[in-house]
Amino acid sequence: MEANSGIPVQKPTCIGCGYSLLELTSDNCPECGRYFDRDDESTFRMAWQPAPRRRSAAPPSMWECVGLGVLTILGLLGASNAQPWNGPATCIGLVFGVPVWVGLAIQALWRAGVCWKDRARSDLDQSPLHKRHAGRWFVAPICFLVVVSAIITPWPLMLRFGLSRPAFEAAVRDVQSGKGGVNGRIGLYFVRRVTWNTTNPAGSTILFETGSDFFDPVGFMFDPVRDRTRTDIIQQLGPQWYTYID
């Protein structure tokens, strides 16, 4: 690109790598291969001017993907509690985490829209810049679908408890055999307290308290007699296993 080639002499640079485009005869950046249109200032960057929107025509950054992933995992942990989406810690996480998650998702949609409008130019790149890190485009929709599915169905709770169930059943056997209950980590949950009827441990309902909502303790209940008159049961997880709020 020459200085008198139609682009003002203000150090035009490549959007992709920042290489100077002055005095070039080719329409592709020699550093990274990105194509630019001499008559369209949105395809390159001029010194002392804001970066054109085409600079966003790239997959989400690693930090955007990591942020979405971490917030999604934290949301799944909240959904896998004995009383999903409840409790002080979960509510605080929702207040601060949801806006950030939505912001990152909107940013990913914005990038997708810019890339769609930039597709004609990007097809002329001499190196597959627009195809680098293409897998990052799947992070936002996957996280969105995972969160929606966790809201609609209790699969995070069922999965986490299913993986922890052998440890809970071992704890039940300890109580029934008279060894007593052990507070601490059981499976993938931290149990604050274990309570049962000490006069009849073999046939007693056993409560594993794992947390609380704003007022009452919640956790998992082992009920060998399946007492249908109980009003503290929230959800059945399997034969003899329930979530409860006391």
* Per-residue pLDDT tens over the stretch 169-186: 999 988 888 777 677 899
The domain containing residue 64 runs over which residues?
57-153
Provide the phi-psi class of 127: left if phi over 0, else alpha when psi is between -120 and 50, else beta.
beta
Q: Domain boundary residue among 99, 122, 153?
A: 153
Domain count, the chain: 3
Of 55 and 75, the structure prediction assigns the larger pLDDT to 75
Same domain, 197 and 130: no
Neighbours of 116 (CB within 10 A): 9
Q: Kindly state whether residues 29 and 62 are assigned to the same domain.
A: no
H helices of 118-243, in order, are: 119-122, 139-152, 155-176
**Last residue in a domain, options 153, 176, 209:** 153
Q: Could you report the per-residue pLDDT of 15-65, keeping only the tens digit for each?
A: 777 788 887 877 888 877 777 877 777 777 776 665 556 666 667 778 888
Please say whether the beta carbons of 207 and 246 come within 8 A. Answer: yes
Q: Give yes or no: residues 170 and 139 share one domain.
A: no
Q: Tell me, what amino acid is at 31?
A: E
Q: How far is CA 125 from CA 74, 121, 183, 201, in A?
A: 39, 7, 61, 73
| Domain termination residue (choose one: 122, 153, 184) | 153
189/118 same-domain check: no
Query: Are 146 and 61 contained in the same domain?
Result: yes
Judged against a pLDDT cut of 50, whether residue 86 lies above it is answered with yes
Same domain, 106 and 178: no
Query: Taking a C-beta distance cutoff of 8 angstroms, is the pair 183, 193 a contact?
Result: yes
Judgement on whether residues 144 and 106 belong to the same structural domain of the protein: yes
